Amino acid sequence: MGTLQKKSADKFIELMVESTPLLKLISFTTMSDPISSYPLLTLSRYKTRPIGRNTVASLQNVGDIMINFNAKEVVLPLVIPDSYIEDMESSHEKVANYIAKVFGMDMQYLFINGDMDATGSDDKTSLRKALNGITKQIATAGKTVDYPTAATELEKIKILVKALPETTLADPDLKILIGSGAYTSLWDEIANNSDSKALLMQNGVIKYRGKEVIEIPELSKITIINPGHIAGGICRDISIEKQRYPEARGSKVVCSARVDFQVVTEACLMEGDAE
Statement to judge: residues 157 and 208 lie in one domain:
yes
Counting as low any pLDDT under 70, the low residues of the chain are 1, 44-64, 85-91, 194-202
Is there a domain that residue 150 lies in? yes
**pLDDT number for residue 194:** 64
Statement to judge: residues 236 and 224 lie in one domain:
no
**Nearest in space to 129 (alpha carbons), one of 69, 179, 72:** 72
Statement to judge: residues 87 and 165 lie in one domain:
no
**pLDDT number for residue 65:** 77
**pLDDT number for residue 53:** 61
Is there a domain that residue 47 lies in? no
Query: Phi and psi of 193, rounded to 5°?
Result: -125, 105
Give me the CATH number covering residue 113. Answer: 3.30.2400
Q: Specify the number of domains making up the chain.
A: 2
Query: Phi and psi of 141, rounded to 5°?
Result: -80, -5
CA angle 236, 239, 240 (to 5 degrees): 130
**pLDDT number for residue 47:** 56
Statement to judge: residues 234 and 217 lie in one domain:
no
Give me the CATH number covering residue 222. Answer: 3.30.2320.10
Statement to judge: residues 185 and 246 lie in one domain:
no
Statement to judge: residues 253 and 174 lie in one domain:
no
Statement to judge: residues 147 and 88 lie in one domain:
no
- For residue 191, the one-letter residue type is A
Whole-Å CA distances, 204 to 123, 191, 214, 215:
37, 11, 12, 13
The structure's pTM equals 0.86
**pLDDT number for residue 140:** 94
Residue 157 buriedness (CB in 10 A; 0-12 / 13-18 / 19+)? buried
Is there a domain that residue 234 lies in? yes
Is there a domain that residue 46 lies in? no
**pLDDT number for residue 266:** 74
Residue 268 in 3-state DSSP? strand
**pLDDT number for residue 248:** 78
**pLDDT number for residue 239:** 92
Statement to judge: residues 173 and 68 lie in one domain:
no
* Count of beta carbons in the 10 Å neighbourhood of residue 96: 17
DSSP 228: G
Is there a domain that residue 52 lies in? no
Q: pLDDT, tens digit, for every residue of 227-274?
A: 999 999 999 999 988 888 888 788 888 999 999 999 987 789 999 998
Statement to judge: residues 90 and 165 lie in one domain:
no
Q: Measured between alpha carbons, how far apart are the two ends of the chain, in Å?
A: 53
Range of the domain at 251: 6-39+61-133+229-263
**pLDDT number for residue 49:** 57
**pLDDT number for residue 91:** 66
